[in-house]
Amino acid sequence: MSTRALFREDAYQTRCDATVRAIDEQGIHLDQNVFYPLGGGQAGDAGMLKLADGTCISIAHTRKAKFEGATSDDVVHVPAAGQDSLLQKLAVGDKVSAEIDWEQRYKRMRLHTASHLICAVLPYPVDGCSITTEYARLDLATVELIEREAVEAKLAELIGGSHAVRTEWITDDEMVACPELVRTMSVKPADGPRPRSAAAHQRRRSAAVRQHACTQYRRNRRAADCEAGEEKRTHAAAGAGDLA
Ligand SMILES: [Zn+2]
């Protein structure tokens, strides 16, 4: 049974109640989750799990869980070091309150959306990316000269439009019909021979499409909630964007 990935349903959900499903060498697995896992160049969320007695386990990182049958919804919360005595108290079946470091996540969301704006301005395939709390980096596959001033002017125009941001999900069939929706080279539908595991490829592609076959940029219904200025202009969607 997969974890319920609440972060896909509402990028602005910062906490949830959950039940501990497993504790292993990877970390803590919950039945539902608001932490975005490392993926597509975007860092995994940090935060904390609050136990029933009020104590808190600090979560340093979140990544996709690895186990037989795991999906991209299955994530594992990696505790920060030095909490052994706290972790020993934690047991499968315990109820916890899971809360992300929202300040950190929101910065990444905004940079993620900003990277979509850059994709809208520069129509080149994306060969890699990194979205951190401090910056976003896109590797564009081109040998054409990029004029910084022209790019900045177009970006300013898009940003000035204060467009709403929302995420869109498409099916595999739709992606096959419109491969240009996926800008990342590594998740293009395979033209050549199928990979060794067709099923694995299909799963990977489906996950990539669900998360990232977004259009030129993500828009979110909370656009109107944002404050004026930068806040309003580059508000972003969730941990969105699994490029890998
Ligand atoms: Zn994205």
Tell me: pLDDT of 196 over 60. no
Q: What is the SS3 assignment for 78?
A: strand
Residues 6 or more apart whose Cβ sits within 8 Å of residue 178: 170
Calculate mean pLDDT across residues 27-54. Answer: 95
- DSSP for 36-76? PPSBTTBPPP-EEEEETTS-EEEEEEEEE--STT--TT-EE
Calculate mean pLDDT across residues 105-124. Answer: 93
Q: What is the CA radius of gyration of the chain?
A: 19
Give residue 102 CA to ligand 1 midpoint distance, Å. Answer: 18
Give residue 186 CA to ligand 1 midpoint distance, Å. Answer: 14
Give residue 171 CA to ligand 1 midpoint distance, Å. Answer: 16
Q: Rounded CA gap, 197 and 62, in Å?
A: 26
**Residues 58-102: tens digit of each pLDDT:** 999 999 999 999 998 999 999 999 999 999 989 999 999 999 999
Give residue 111 CA to ligand 1 midpoint distance, Å. Answer: 10
Give residue 237 CA to ligand 1 midpoint distance, Å. Answer: 8
Quick one: pLDDT at residue 189? 54
Degrees, nearest 5: CA angle 13-15-19: 125
Quick one: pLDDT at residue 191? 44
**Residues 7-32: tens digit of each pLDDT:** 988 999 999 999 999 999 999 999 99
Q: Rounded CA gap, 193 and 7, in Å?
A: 34
Quick one: pLDDT at residue 56? 96
Give residue 148 CA to ligand 1 midpoint distance, Å. Answer: 22
Residue reference for tokens 């929706």: 181
Give residue 66 CA to ligand 1 midpoint distance, Å. Answer: 23
Quick one: pLDDT at residue 187? 65
Give residue 231 CA to ligand 1 midpoint distance, Å. Answer: 18
Q: Residues with beta carbon < 5 A to ion ligand 1?
A: 240-241
Residue 171's pLDDT band (cuts 50, 70, 90) = confident
Residue 219: DSSP 8-state: B
Tell me: pLDDT of 118 over 90. yes
Give residue 168 CA to ligand 1 midpoint distance, Å. Answer: 10
**Dihedral Cα 231, 236, 239, 242, nearest 10 deg:** -140
Give residue 236 CA to ligand 1 midpoint distance, Å. Answer: 9
Of 228, 222, 244, the C-alpha closest to 72 is 244
Give residue 23 CA to ligand 1 midpoint distance, Å. Answer: 30
Residues 6 or more apart whose Cβ sits within 8 Å of residue 46: 58, 59, 60, 61, 62, 100, 101, 104
Quick one: pLDDT at residue 201? 37
How far CA 85 is from CA of 49, 53, 57, 89, 118, in Å, comes to: 15, 14, 10, 7, 46
Give residue 158 CA to ligand 1 midpoint distance, Å. Answer: 16
Degrees, nearest 5: CA angle 106-43-120: 70
Tokens of 188: 């293009």
In residues, how long is the chain? 244
- In order of start, what are the domains of the chain with their CATH numbers? 4-100 (2.40.30.130), 104-233 (no CATH)
